[in-house]
Each structure stands twice: as structure tokens, then as C-alpha cells.
Copies of this chain bind each other. A is one copy, B any other.
């Protein structure tokens, strides 16, 4: 029944296809919002939880559903195989394929590639959902369901925007890279990007990532992320755990050494105590400073949501900068020490402290690693302990930063002004999205994060939702963006 309605209206409009006045595109989108919500309902109904091995078939079904939609819009789709996943238990399940799709191929036009993911986080009614997580439920203007915001709803909004534009003319070439394993670390994807760099990506001018949300109810564009460098400090005082009755007082304890080393890393205000660590941090310009002033952000609400005792700073601007444009150091925990409830009287033989430093432009991983090693080795030498230490930098990802005056960003900003009648908030996020810096490193393309999710969508939590407003106006935003991009 729904499909029938859709086909009828589709047929009606295509007869008028010609130029693409924004108003008419927007009217078309408004008129079809019921269908868009129905499509989202169908997508949400598939339990594409990539963390659950029993749901691998649902992932494949979800890929096929998206494939079908793209083909319906006239696109070509390749389902690229990623091979098998190597799990800790030795099993090697097949990875779901990745969609590499293409709509329109006009060498005179720009090509933009959208990246998004079709898998979701786990969700169960009994976790505290007010409605069935895989049954789209509308209430008070919000569309509740797992994946509505992260990331099915955002991908669908792009596809719906393409469809609306097609009633007249799709103004640019559009590609899609859609995967179904993002929530579990995108195994195999980075390799695929490398393999397809000289083919699929060769004619791509811009990469837009939908997997992003606004930090307030005002639309925002993300132009930077922090990187991260993860360190382990291993300290060993013996080959076997010791009893604190028998050995307490005669053994220089590994945990005590580790606690000492960890205590030299950061002060109570979050200032990192490693010499030289701030040297390479890009200075704050007046232009950038102004961006923070403009951004709408309710940090008091965030404080309440997470029950945070207090922040390290009192102003919106300072907090935004601290969480996105300055490095930070977090101590995550200790492996090998006693961590269970109860009161064990152990002297752990070997403990591993874990901390990481969020990297920002223009910090260099290897310079930071040297600074960390030098600092810890010096402090340990001062302590004069007979124990053995080993400091390792186990993983690192680079920070990513774009210029908000690049054509891609100008198109995004103009589109936001057109649809929302407001200037876009230009934001940087404190976390790391490995695929972003990987796209940048491998393809060298201009990249932007343009999402339509709201600040309170709870992407990984209970009662995930997207507002109908965000979903429909967001569809207009993607349509306007593609039009703006055509004229750059």
C-alpha cells in the first residue's frame, strides 16, 4: 500500500522534471515526509546489531535493502567483499559486504562520496526503552528506534534528498560507501579504502560523513577531531603475586611504583605535566576564537545528564576549546592489580597502567611518545626502584582538521543558511573517528562531517531517536548542499 502511494506521487512529479528551484524541492520533501518515515521504519525494523554474531544475516539483509533503494534511484551498486573476521575465539565469520555505489557519472560535474553505516548498537526493550527499539515509534515529534539517528536515518535522508533532486536534476555525481560493521571497529574497511583509492575514489572530489550530530539544536558542521595516543606502563616487582602479610615491607611494590608514575602525568585541573607536551599545539587565532563564541552549547545540561560533579572550567568557550582543540590526558585504569569487589591482600607482581593523550594539530605522535618516555624514565630513575618498567605506545590516531573556508564547507554553510536561516556552528569534536583521518591519509580528499542528528538523540543509549524536524529539514539540508556543491 505504501509503495503504491509512493509510485503514484513519483510518477506525478517526474513529468515536471526540469530545473531545480529550492522551494519546489523543499515542498516535494515536505509532501513526501510520510514515505520517508515509512522507509525509516522498514530500515529500523532490521536488527542490524553488528556486535551480535547471531545477527550477521540481518546485516546482510540491511545491506541489500540499501542496495535496493540505491538501484531504485538508478544507481549502480557493487557489493565489495571484505573476507572474514578473525575473532578471539578462533572463529572466522564472513564479514558483511560494503556498498560501493554510484549515481550519475558526468565528468563535467563534481563528485561527492557519502560515507555512512547501516549497523547499529545493541538494544533491548528491557534495557529501559519506552518502546520496542526495532519498531519505529513516533511521540511528541520524535521518531524513536535504534538507528534512527546513528546512522540509518542520516543515510536515508541523503537518499531521499537525491530522490527529491532527481525530480528535476541531480546536480552533482553522488557516490556512497556504506558499511555494516562500524560499531565494532570497521574490520577490513581501511584496507578496502586503500585498494579502491585509484579506482572508486579516483574521481571523488569530496567526502561527506553523515555519521555525526549537532552539539545543540542549531545545525553544525564538524571540521576537526582530536587524535589519540595510548600508552601502557608495565611495572614488575616479582614473577608471582605476593601475599602482603608475608612480603609487605620487604618488597618495593610494582603497584606503588606505577601509582607514583601515573601521579606525575596530570594535575587536578587537567593540565598535563609532561615537559614540552604543549609546544606543538597550534596557537589560537582570533578567527578560531570567534567560532567558539558563536557556538550554541548547553554545557550545564550535559553536566546534569552525566551527573558530573563539576567541570574544570566555567565558560562555554574555554570548555569547548579544552575538549576539542587542546590535548588532554586520561588515566583509564590498571591491569594486573586487584580490581574485583572485596578485600584481597595481594601484592601484584606485574601491573600495567593505561593512559592516553588526545592529540591536536600539530602534535606529532613520535615526538609525543618521546616526551612521554623521557618524562617517565626520568621520574622512575629519580625514584630509585629496583623494579623493571616498560613503557609502550600501543596505538595512535592522528588529529584531523579542515579549513572551513574550503569549497566543501562553503557549500555546507550556505545550505544550512538556506534551510535553517541561521549561520552554521562550526565545531570540532574531542574524540577520534579513525575513518576520517584514514580517508584523509589515503585519498587526500577534502572531507566534512555533515550530520543531521540532534544533541540529545542518545545514539548509543536507550530510547535513541531522531526528531521528525531534523529528519525532514535534514533531508532538505542534504538537497540544498548538493545544489550548492554544484555551483562551487
Contact = CB atoms under 8 A, between A and B. Distances in A.
Interface residues of A, number: 79
A27 interface: no
A322 B260 contact: no
A237 interface: yes
Contacts of A256: 266, 268, 330-331
Contacts of A248: 323, 328-330, 358, 430
Interface in A312-327: 312-313, 319, 322-323, 326-327
A337 B351 CA distance: 13
- Which of the listed residues A250, A309, A313 has the most CB atoms from chain B within 10 Å of its own CB? A250
Contacts of A257: 268
Contact of A307 (B238, B307, B330, B358): B238
Contact of A249 (B236, B259, B323, B429): B323
A358 B313 CA distance: 41
B306 A250 contact: no
A238 B337 contact: no
Contacts of A349: 306-307
Contact of A339 (B226, B247, B260, B335): B335
Contact of A309 (B237, B260, B323, B326): B237
Contacts of A285: none
B252 A269 contact: yes
Contacts of A322: 249-250
Interface in A247-304: 247-253, 255-257, 259-260, 262-263, 266, 268-270
Contacts of A331: 253, 255-256, 259, 337
A334 interface: yes
Interface stretch (A65-73, A89-97, A382-390): A382-390
Contacts of A387: 309-310
A394 B383 CA distance: 31
B332 A338 contact: yes
Contacts of A346: 330, 332-333
Contact of A310 (B252, B306, B432): B252
B244 A343 contact: no
B245 A358 contact: yes
A346 B333 CA distance: 9
A326 B249 contact: yes
B356 A345 contact: yes
Contact of A238 (B239, B306, B384, B395): B306
Nearest to A341: B335
A348 B253 CA distance: 24
Given A251-B270, A309-B387, A332-B348, 12 more contacts: A237-B308, A240-B306, A244-B330, A247-B306, A248-B358, A249-B270, A249-B312, A249-B430, A252-B270, A253-B266, A256-B330, A335-B340
18 contacts: A240-B306, A246-B429, A246-B430, A248-B330, A248-B430, A249-B312, A251-B308, A252-B310, A253-B266, A255-B332, A256-B330, A257-B268, A310-B387, A332-B337, A335-B341, A338-B354, A343-B356, A343-B394
Interface of A: 226, 228, 230, 236-240, 242-253, 255-257, 259-260, 262-263, 266, 268-270, 306-313, 319, 322-323, 326-335, 337-341, 343-349, 354, 356, 358, 383-388, 394-395, 429-432
